[in-house]
Chains A and B, each alone.
Chain A
């Protein structure tokens, strides 16, 4: 079975400061990794995903994440945050197979950008 841990439930950060949202996973099989963002009263929007290849992946809105297989981590980073980045961020994994591929989500990290 897979599990996803997001260690920080809330992260306050000042505008234009860097931020890192942590995600660790455990799985007995190879996985794909995702970060989703949820703005207030909206659905889940894909930020970025790691499928294979380069371990550093870049997504929308200036976010990037690095897959570290040895540490089973997929931390999300942004060098300079904006007020508009205030949202809930979810890390998710799915198994590497060509079937239903359900997602396993972390509990989410609430990012609050302070002016």
Chain B
């Protein structure tokens, strides 16, 4: 069964550094998402992406964040200058179409900012 993959599984970085989290959505899916989960807290929506542009974003997704689909398979989340509070698990998700289709989640990347 096809699945969403994410790399790396764990990323450690120094405060102020840039990080890029990578995701490979399911191949025939058209909608892509990033969520994050700070330890002990709920999973929070960051951004959705469709037709090569952001369709929705939350208040968390400020100018430090950006997303890109650089080729036909990858979907990336970039944090330009990481802060301590960016430490979290970041989940990528994809869905084939909008509406009732299920979102499929990847295993997550744990980002630790020191």
Contacts and interface: CB of A to CB of B under 8 A. Distances in A.
A102 B36 CA distance: 13
A44 to B, nearest CB: 4
A61 interface: no
Given A36-B105, A42-B107, A44-B105, A101 B42 contact: no
B43 A44 contact: yes
A103 interface: yes
A108 B48 contact: no
Interface residues of B, number: 29
A22 B106 CA distance: 25
A102 B98 contact: no
B42 A100 contact: no
Contact of A101 (B41, B91, B99, B104): B99
Contacts of B99: 97-98, 101
Interface string A28-61: 0000101010000111111001010000000000
B35 A103 contact: yes
Contact of B33 (A34, A42, A97, A102): A102
B31 interface: yes
Contacts of B18: none
A37 to B, nearest CB: 11
B4 A43 contact: yes
B100 A32 contact: yes
The winner among B4, B91, B105 for most chain A CB atoms within 10 A is B105
B41 to A, nearest CB: 7
22 contacts: A42-B107, A43-B6, A43-B108, A44-B93, A49-B102, A97-B99, A98-B98, A100-B31, A100-B33, A100-B48, A100-B55, A100-B98, A101-B95, A101-B98, A101-B103, A102-B33, A102-B45, A103-B33, A103-B103, A104-B45, A108-B42, A108-B43
Interface of A: 4, 32, 34, 36, 41-46, 49, 51, 90, 92, 97-108
